Amino acid sequence: MVLRLLRGKDGRLSAYAPAAGGIARWTETRPGGPQWAGPVWLDAPGLSVCSVGQGLDGYVHLVGLREKRAPDDQLDVDVVHATQYQTGRPTTVWHSLGTPHPNDWRKASRVTVVATVVGKDGAVHIIVRNAGGGISARRQDGKGKWSGWVDFKGKDVTEGLSAVATAEGRVEFIAPTTSGALRWYMTEPGGGLKRGDDLDADPQPGSVSGVETSHDTLTHYWRDAKTREIFAYRPGDGTEPISLGGGEGQGPAAVIQAPVYGYDCTVLAQHEPGTGRLAVAAYPTENEAAGVWWTPTGDCGLTEPALSLDGYGRVVLAALGPDRELRVARQKTTEPGLALDAWSAV
């Protein structure tokens, strides 16, 4: 998990950052800021990997892998889940969901990578890389009932699953592999997940992300393992993946659809190791051919960019400083293009 920035039903933003044995959370004191409270420590002893998902009801679902050392060097690992029902409020206790390998602790200890996505109906999908290098998933329906673990097959999956849901409720996820990328998707909201065609791509592990860019249409992004350029791809529209540049970057691009000076745009942010700074870009949504220009922002040392819209519909870019404290920049709405206010420490 990288930094996540989510807006609650009351319009306030919360930022979630992973840390050893738990998650740090900052929350706006009122919609639109500028003051924040936190960090509040969401304690989870043994938490090693985590992800965060949010439904249309505003509920935030925290999912992770919990490790516990047992006698004889046995490492017990299970998938755990907690829910935050209201912005800034405590979460439920962490509940164990087991693993796809309930009777073999050695296999369970090899479960890595977790992605969480919530459908329109409130169904929570938890996706992991299993001990065989494929994909397993478990689902909680909108009434709170959990399914068993389902093996979706696949092989050679690496780091960085990306799972996204449309406003209509369809879910898709992409899993990078050592030789390309695999895709699963729903043909209709609430339906079963089916395997799509493998992607002709070579994504850098841990670099995949996605966003809904138009009605029931998702655009997926990844960083090429060799060139480090960011590519955009929309399944089903008949086009090939297109480069958006950004070849100096690292890790996944934060992405959001947002109004920029009256135009519907897709906004991206990434970390550039070469400069030690963040870079942002905005382009007309689903018109990658128009070109993308990256602009540096923030001080050196900022990492893990996250994007969201605040309670007033402004783009908010957040990142972690070298001290792991939160930094925030907010969109200026009185200037053309994507202009940000000065960065502030929370």
pLDDT exceeds 90 at position 61: yes
Class of domain 4-252: mainly beta
**For the segment 209-256, what is each residue's pLDDT rounded down to a tens digit?**
999 999 989 999 999 999 999 999 998 777 789 999 988 888 899 999
Average pLDDT on 44-59 reads 91
Q: How far is Cα 177 from Cα 264, in angstroms, rounded to an integer?
A: 33
Does the pLDDT at position 338 exceed 70? yes
Mean pLDDT of the chain: 92
Position 344, amino acid: S
pLDDT given for residue 191 in this prediction:
82
To the question of pTM greater than 0.85 for the whole model, the response is yes
Residue 256 has a pLDDT of 96
Q: Helix, strand, coil % (nearest 5) of the chain? A: 5, 50, 45
pLDDT of residue 210: 94
- What tens digit of pLDDT does each residue of 302-313 get? 898 999 999 999
Residue 142 φ/ψ region, left for φ over 0, alpha for ψ in the -120 to 50 degree band, beta for the rest: alpha
CA dihedral 266, 206, 168, 308 (to 10 degrees): -50
CA distance 8 to 31: 9
Least confident of 6-10, 135-139, 193-197, 305-309: 193-197
